[in-house]
């Protein structure tokens, strides 16, 4: 350790002075460059030249950033003394006058150096204060983030427990504004385990769960795909948002494909663990996803895992997030071919026209507007 310190000291030595930091060392090199040039241009045996140089330094003509400036001033002073000793032979009065001039210049230069050091100390203190403010803000952000994360965990734990409790009151919800029953359709009965949750929020549409992950959440749906990006089931602002179904999907019809979105949180909340399916072995160990609508239960088998992104309207490409209904078998098979080609690996699972599909989508940061997508097929009972 001592050897390392000694080496660092040698590295930061300029003109016999040692400097503690690399930035101070850089400033010293800057001063040395100026001093070397002045030495080259100045005749140190010429008293008039030395006095002019001292005045220029005192007047701010040369800006020194380290104590090398004082050392150089002392060097000039010594040279002036030597020049005055030579002139003393020509008369003591002349020497006295030169000494007074040098003394005045020396005092002025000392004043300049002290003021410069004070300015630097003020800048250093200001920088320290700014760094402290930034540190406090960062700690505050971490605290708020942790609070939201803890509140989210507690909220969904309470909701999971509420599923298991006996139904409170008589819950017979009407179809929401997103759905319209055909005249031939009879109203569907809500599953008992979701009736209590519907009492809390009529926007509940189902529940999603994947084994061995924290993905065990209610699924919301509203008339836009924005609200639940930053709100939870209790209508509170929550940076975690909620898991929600695309506004155009219909669980009563039902749609060919249920598309469900969730944030990819660094904490692992929401769909933070969905990208585990990037690993084919993980998929083999966790091939099934449970998704219940509020009307019926469902187990889905993973078919495709791929990366995509949100495209502009002008780009003519397959946009998985627009695949909600297939109007024909040909159209359905075309969608399947597109996703099979994009899939990271072959699961061996396929689907036929008429099968119910489930698509889980979250952000992927490998590219701008990237998305990580898992598509599954409902297992027929």
d(CA 289, CA 215): 10
* pLDDT reading at 354 higher than 60: yes
- Mean pLDDT of the region 348-364: 96
- Whether the CB-CB separation of 274 and 341 falls below 8 Å is answered with no
User: Taking a C-beta distance cutoff of 8 angstroms, is the pair 278, 305 a contact?
Assistant: yes
Of 90, 113, 132, the last residue of a domain is 132
Instruction: Check residue 329 and give its pLDDT.
Output: 96
| Residues 124, 199 within the same domain | no
94 and 207 share one domain = no
**What number is the average pLDDT over the span 251-261?**
95
Note whether residue 158 is domain-resident. Answer: no
Spatial distance between the Cα atoms of 364 and 164, rounded to a whole number of angstroms? 34
Question: In this structure, what is the dihedral angle of CA atoms 294, 299, 304, 308, given to the nearest 10 degrees?
Answer: 20
Q: Name the E strands within the chain.
A: 13-14, 17-18, 204-209, 216-220, 243-245, 257-261, 288-293, 299-309, 357-364, 370-378
Query: What mean pLDDT do residues 153-157 have?
Result: 64
Report d(CA 219, CA 217) in Å as an integer: 6
pLDDT at 210: 96
pLDDT cut 70: percent of the chain above it? 80
- Confidence grade of residue 72 (pLDDT, cut at 50, 70, 90): confident
Rounded average pLDDT over 206-232: 94
- pLDDT at 107 > cutoff 60: yes
DSSP codes joined into one string, 210-236: -TTSS-EEEEE--SSSSGGGSB-TTS-
Of 115 and 334, more confident: 334
C-alpha distances in angstroms, 151 versus 37, 176, 232? 66, 28, 10
Q: Which region among 45-59, 173-187, 334-348 has the lowest average model confidence (pLDDT)?
A: 173-187
More confident residue, 210 or 253: 210
> Cα separation of 319 and 301, whole Å?
22
List the Cα angle 88/94/100 in 5-degree steps.
110
Rounded alpha-carbon distances, angstroms, from residue 209 to 13, 226, 281, 301 = 65, 22, 19, 13
Q: Are residues 328 and 235 in the same domain?
A: yes
In a domain, 195, yes or no: yes
Rounded to an integer, the average pLDDT of 130-148 is 66
For residues 322-331, one letter each, b for 16 or more C-beta atoms within 10 angstroms of the residue's C-beta and e for the rest, the string is: ebbebeeeee
User: Residue 79 falls within a domain, yes or no?
Assistant: yes
- pLDDT of 6 higher than 80: no
Q: How many helices (H) and strands (E) does the chain have?
A: 8, 10
Q: Are residues 128 and 171 in the same domain?
A: no
**Quick check: 207 and 194 in contact, CB under 8 A?**
yes
Whether residues 284 and 359 fall in one domain: yes
Indicate the pTM of the whole model. Answer: 0.61
Query: What CATH code is carried by the domain that includes residue 246?
Result: 2.40.260.10
Q: Is the pLDDT of residue 181 over 60?
A: no
Q: Of the residues 132, 150, 181, which one is the last residue of a structural domain?
A: 132
**What confidence score (pLDDT) does residue 378 get?**
97
Token pair, residue 373, equals 């997508």
Whether 99 and 184 share a structural domain: no
* pLDDT tier for residue 214 given thresholds of 50, 70 and 90: very high
211 conformational bin, left if phi > 0, alpha if psi -120 to 50, beta if neither:
beta
Rounded to 5 degrees, what are φ and ψ at 358?
-135, 130
What pLDDT sits at residue 162? 60
Would residue 78 count as lying in a domain?
yes
- Domain-embedded: residue 37: yes
pLDDT at 182 (0 to 100): 54
**What does the pLDDT average to over 101-106?**
70
Shared domain check, 172 and 72: no
**Do 194 and 305 belong together in one domain?**
yes
Residues 325 and 220 in one domain: yes
* 139 within domain boundaries: no
Alpha-carbon distances, residue 381 vs 142, 288, 299, 330, 354 (angstroms): 47, 14, 9, 25, 14
String of DSSP letters for 33-100: HHHHHHHHH--TT-HHHHHHHHHHHHTTSS---STHHHHHHHHHHHHHHHHHHHHGGG-HHHHHHHHH
- One domain for residues 323 and 183: yes
The answer to whether residues 124 and 217 belong to one domain is no
Q: Which range marks the domain in which residue 22 is found?
A: 2-132
Tell me the average pLDDT across 277-306.
Answer: 97
Least confident of 41-50, 62-71, 86-95, 219-228: 86-95
* Domain count of the fold of the chain: 2
Does residue 115 belong to any structural domain of this protein? yes
So what's the pLDDT on residue 294? 94
pLDDT at residue 44 is higher than 60: yes
Instruction: Tell me if 160 is assigned to some domain.
Output: no
Q: Are 306 and 275 in contact (CB under 8 A)?
A: no
Do 200 and 276 belong together in one domain?
yes
- The domain boundary residue, chosen from 107, 132, 157: 132
Using 50, 70 and 90 to split pLDDT, how confident is the model at 160?
Answer: low
Give 6: exposed, middle or buried? Use CB within 10 Å, 0-12, 13-18, 19+: exposed
Among the listed ranges 177-186, 263-272, 359-368, which one has the minimum average pLDDT value? Answer: 177-186
């Amino acid at each position: 350790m001592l050897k390392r310190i000694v080496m660092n000291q040698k590295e930061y030595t300029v003109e016999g002075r040692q400097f503690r930091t690399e930035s101070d060392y850089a400033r010293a090199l800057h001063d040395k460059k100026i001093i070397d040039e002045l030495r080259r241009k100045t005749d140190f045996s010429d008293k008039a030249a030395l006095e002019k140089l001292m005045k220029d330094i005192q007047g701010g003509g040369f800006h020194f950033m380290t104590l090398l400036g004082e050392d150089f001033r002392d060097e000039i002073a010594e040279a002036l003394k030597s020049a005055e000793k030579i002139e003393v032979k020509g008369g003591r009065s002349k020497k006295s006058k030169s000494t007074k001039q040098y003394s005045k210049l020396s005092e002025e230069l000392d004043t300049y150096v002290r003021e410069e050091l004070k300015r630097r100390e003020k800048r250093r203190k200001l920088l320290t204060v700014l760094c402290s403010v930034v540190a406090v803000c960062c700690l505050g952000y971490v605290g708020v983030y942790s609070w939201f994360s803890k509140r989210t965990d507690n909220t969904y734990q309470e909701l999971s427990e509420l599923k298991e409790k006996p139904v409170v009151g008589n819950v017979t919800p009407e179809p929401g504004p997103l759905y319209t029953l055909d005249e031939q359709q009879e109203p569907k009965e809500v599953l008992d385990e979701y009736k209590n949750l519907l009492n809390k929020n009529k926007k509940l549409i189902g529940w999603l769960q994947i084994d061995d992950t924290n993905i065990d959440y209610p699924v919301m749906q509203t008339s836009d795909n924005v609200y639940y990006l930053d709100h939870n089931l209790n209508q509170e602002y929550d940076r975690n948002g909620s898991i929600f179904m695309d506004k155009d999907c219909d669980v009563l019809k039902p749609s060919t494909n249920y598309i469900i979105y969730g944030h990819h949180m660094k904490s692992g909340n929401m769909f933070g663990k969905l990208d585990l399916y990037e690993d084919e072995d993980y998929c083999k160990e966790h091939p099934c996803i449970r998704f219940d609508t509020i009307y019926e239960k469902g187990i889905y088998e993973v078919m495709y895992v791929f990366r995509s992104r949100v495209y502009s309207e002008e780009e003519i490409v397959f946009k998985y997030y627009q695949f909600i209904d297939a109007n024909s078998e040909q159209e359905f098979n075309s969608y399947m071919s597109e996703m099979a080609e994009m899939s990271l690996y072959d699961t061996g699972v396929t689907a036929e026209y008429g099968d119910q599909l489930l698509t889980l989508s979250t952000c992927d940061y490998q590219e701008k507007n990237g998305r990580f997508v898992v598509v599954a097929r409902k297992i027929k009972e």
